[in-house]
Amino acid sequence: MSFENPDDDTLRRLLDDIKTIAVVGLSPQPARPSFRVAQAMQGYGFRIVPVRPAVEQVLGEKAYARLDDIPFKVDLVNVFRAAEHVPAIVEQCLALHLPAIWIQEGIVHVEAAETGRAAGMTVVMDRCLLKEYIRLRTA
């Protein structure tokens, strides 16, 4: 089974529509890719919501242990967790009726991505949110 990401026009619309990004697995360590991507997206004006247990805050934003602990609307879930965690994250997104999930570059779980898509979510997988934002919105 193969997975096809949304086309560039769909990605542009998604990037235009989102304001708040929950980052699952956001590390408080500046050298980590999750920190660098989230920091850059924050610099582009997006609100970053860290989702990581046992951390008080990252990038000046209060951290939440789980997606369902976030008490406000989230437009996109950006995933920086190993592939084996993706099915549970997709299920959480579906239970919370979240509209979109972006599974970072190097993370692939085709079955979970197809489950999200079949349920009506916009799903992007194995692509870097920051690289795609720069490619589609700042050029």
pLDDT at 2 (0 to 100): 78
Asked whether the predicted pLDDT for residue 22 surpasses 70, the reply is: yes
Measured distance CA(51)–CA(40) in Å, rounded: 17
Sheet holding 76-79, edge to edge: 47-51, 20-24, 76-79, 100-103, 122-125
Average pLDDT of the residues in 10-39 = 97
Q: Phi and psi dihedrals of 47, rounded to 5?
A: -85, 125
137 band by pLDDT with thresholds 50, 70 and 90 = confident
% of the chain beyond a pLDDT of 70: 99
Asked whether the predicted pLDDT for residue 29 surpasses 90, the reply is: yes
Q: In this predicted model, what pLDDT tens digit does every residue of 78-125 receive, in sequence order?
A: 999 999 999 999 999 999 999 999 999 999 999 999 999 999 999 999
pTM: 0.95
Q: Could you give the 3-state DSSP secondary structure of residue 76?
A: strand
pLDDT at 128 (0 to 100): 97
- Residue 90 corresponds to which amino acid? V
**Span 8-138: which CATH code?**
3.40.50.720
Q: 105, 109, 66, 104: which is closest to 87 by C-alpha?
A: 109
126 band by pLDDT with thresholds 50, 70 and 90 = very high
pLDDT at 91 (0 to 100): 97
- Geometric angle at alpha carbon 11, from 93 and 52, rounded to 5°: 35
Q: In this predicted model, what pLDDT tens digit does every residue of 35-66 receive, in sequence order?
A: 999 999 999 999 999 999 999 999 999 999 99
pLDDT at 1 (0 to 100): 58
Cβ(21)–Cβ(44) below 8 Å = no
